[in-house]
Structure 1
């Protein structure tokens, strides 16, 4: 059986990506997993003590409660996205880290047949300086990737 991994983020265009990936999976008779990658949670939960009028960086002061809340909110987002597809067989996976690497690692672990992603419209300068998640996945993948264009009109 085919396994279709659909990468979504908080961008509203993810609805189009999820729906397109799901339709493709239905045509292929495949299983669907929606994946969302959170940035390193620790970045959101840092406490910054003030010294000399400056809010400094304290790598040891991670707010666990905030991290747990971020995780919970993201899990709810994934559940809502899966529910939108109206298919109880759709599964979800939440992970953390560099988005491209996390998508590729889970795709290999889950034995995905295809990765579905959106391509956001970025300027040439943005692509040159930081690349995009889609381009990084394409560069490193051994699994076919189906890209859904999600440019704003």
Structure 2
């Protein structure tokens, strides 16, 4: 194992995921990359014509500066998270789009040997109706995954 990709989000429990993933990577002597996925914000900047009687996009005039600000916030989050691990060799990557697809895509691009993710406790019904990012990644990955259980107290 040479490269460990650790997926983090804005949930405060992500600190546990980052720390446990980092500790595992260090035991393996592996390179670490923290990955955060930003929802496809460019979608909101599209100025669609009226459709189905809805004119919201024409009237809304979404400020593209908002998209830029969201990226800056996400980049700041990643930088701060990496600094928190106190290892200047930890790299970061900000991806955009569908979370599970972005994780899988970057894991392949970066040649990750292991993906570390947190699993939030959801009911079986929630998983059946909407799925979870972790289960979607697990279903399609070619890379081993290390799950860190996260339970809301």
Aligned to 1:107: 107
Match of 1:35 in 2: 35
Residues of 1 paired with 2:12 and 2:55: CA distance?
33
Q: RMSD in angstroms over aligned alpha carbons?
A: 2.2
Provide structure 2 residue ranges, at least 5 long, that are not aligned to the other structure.
49-53
Partner of 1:121: 121
In structure 1, the partner of 2:133 is 133
Q: Distance in 2 between matches of 1:21 and 1:59?
A: 45
Q: Which of structure 1's runs of 4+ aligned residues deviate more than 6 A?
A: none
Partner residue, 1:51: none
| Alpha-carbon shift at residue 9 of structure 1 (Å) | 0.3
Tell me the SS of whatever aligns to 1:33.
strand
- Residue 152 of structure 2 corresponds to 152
Aligned residues: 148
**Structure-to-structure mapping, 1:51-66, within 5 angstroms:** 56-58=56-58, 61-66=61-66
Instruction: Flag the structure with higher strand content.
Output: 1
> 1:75–1:59: structure 2 CA closer, same or farther, 3 Å change rule?
farther
Normalising by structure 1, what TM-score?
A: 0.89
Stretches of structure 1 that go unaligned for 5 or more consecutive residues are 49-53
- Is 1:69 matched with 2:69? yes
Query: Would the aligned equivalents of 1:34 and 1:92 in 2 still touch at CA under 8 Å?
Result: yes
2:8 — aligned with what? 8
8 Å contact kept, 1:120–1:150: yes
